Amino acid sequence: MKRRDRGYNFRYSLIEARRKEGLTQRQVAERIFCSPQSISQAERGKLYLNDDSEASKAFFMALENLYGIPREILRKRGR
């Protein structure tokens, strides 16, 4: 069964988004005021959007704004 394209690929990764912007993990971390380790963990799927945590909301909202990726894609990203 073929998955419908909704404008964004559900496997659109944070790594691809960062590379599309021409940024390193360190540069992203500096722009959104977090550690490069947090960026690395998010890209590897070790850090997920957790609607209960204000810190998590803020982190992923900053990535959403920086990369221009809708929150739904960040929430549903696959590995």
* More confidently predicted of 21 and 70: 21
State whether the Cα torsion 58-62-68-74 is positive or negative.
negative
The amino acid occupying position 54 is E
Distance separating alpha carbons of residues 76 and 79, to the nearest angstrom: 10
Tokens 């559900």 belong to which residue? Answer: 10
Is 58 a residue whose pLDDT tops 80? yes
The pLDDT of residue 1: 37
13 near 77, Cβ under 8 Å? yes
pTM of this structure = 0.76
The pLDDT of residue 5: 45
